[in-house]
Each structure stands twice: as C-alpha cells, then as structure tokens.
Amino acid sequence: MPSAQKQFLPFLYAKFPKLARRYREWFSHSNYAPESYQREISGRIAALRTKYHLGKLPIEPARPREDAPQLNLGLDFTPAAQSPQRLTDARSLQSPLRVLTNEDM
C-alpha cells in the first residue's frame, strides 16, 4: 500500500466511514480510482471551469514590459568608498530622534 493510502484511508475511516470501504476496495486493485470515477470527477471539474470561466492551465504570470524603464525611488545607494562626501553629509543631517544622555535624566 503506497504511503499516501496509509495516511488517507485511516482518515477516511475516522471521518467518512461510508466512503472508506469503497476507497479501500478501489485502491486494493490499483493505485488509481476506477476510470468511470475519474471521468465523473473530470466532468464535474470541467463544468466548474466553464461556470467560473477558468482555463485548463494556470494563467502565466505577467511578464515585465521590456519597454518600461526601472523607476528610481530617489534613494542614493552609492557606496561610501565611492562617495566620501556622503558620510559627512549623513552626519550633518538632523535626526528627528534624539539620543538621551545622563544630563537629560
């Protein structure tokens, strides 16, 4: 018995005992459900696809447009080694946060 059946059949016996016997019988002869049941389920799925306008295959993810340029967020990510002025500029900026010292307490 394949391992999926080892997990699945005990679950069916516990939660859906009326279905478990039929499934055990089906899978004792083959690793697949009978063709008639497969056709029935396929028909149900096809009807749902039609009803909800779903295709047979997953929709491909949208591809990025090749003609669209990458937008700039306005952030400077130039490494400090290439821009020594950046370090001094960053130190001179006023932060909205203030570091507390012993004198403040």
Query: Is the pLDDT reported for residue 30 higher than 90?
Result: no
Range of the domain at 46: 3-51
The 10s digit of each residue's pLDDT in 46-83 is 999 999 988 776 666 677 667 777 777 777 666 655 55
Q: Is residue 78 part of a domain?
A: no
Q: Is residue 95 part of a domain?
A: no
Q: Is residue 47 part of a domain?
A: yes
Strand, coil or helix: 93: coil
Q: Is residue 25 part of a domain?
A: yes
- Whole-model pTM? 0.44
Q: What's the number of domains the chain is made of?
A: 1
In angstroms, rounded to a whole number, what is the distance separating the alpha carbons of residues 97 and 9? 61
